[in-house]
Amino acid sequence: MSIATSTNGGLRVRANDQGTPLQITIEPGELRREPQELANAIVRLCAEAATSAGLARRAELERAGVAEPVLRALRLPEPPPRTPSAVVDEGIDSWLRRG
């Protein structure tokens, strides 16, 4: 389970890794919004909470040694690809290095 909160904190959704909302908290000020806008925000928060819960579940299963084909069959979200934080230039001298 995971919780997603709107940027202003007026909406909070707790959902499982399938996106099923388990708890929805709506502050009184949020009820002034258009119904469709409020519904869209709740659905968006359900999706965010589901992704977060799914990533946590995947990590838990990976730590437990569950094979990749099984994880794919469960259709859990995959973490975003990691990008290298620094590029190493081999064989290229830099003015910052004395060589």
Q: What is the pLDDT of residues 78-91, one digit of tens each?
A: 888 877 665 555 55
Q: Is residue 57 within 8 Å of 23, Cβ to Cβ?
A: no
| pLDDT exceeds cutoff 90 at 93 | no
pTM above 0.75, yes or no: no
Q: Is residue 99 within 8 Å of 89, Cβ to Cβ?
A: no
pLDDT of res. 47? 93
Mean pLDDT of 12-18: 91
| pLDDT exceeds cutoff 70 at 72 | yes
pLDDT of res. 98? 56
pLDDT of res. 79? 84
Cα 76 to the center of its chain, rounded Å: 11
**Domains of the chain, start order:** 2-74 (3.30.1310)
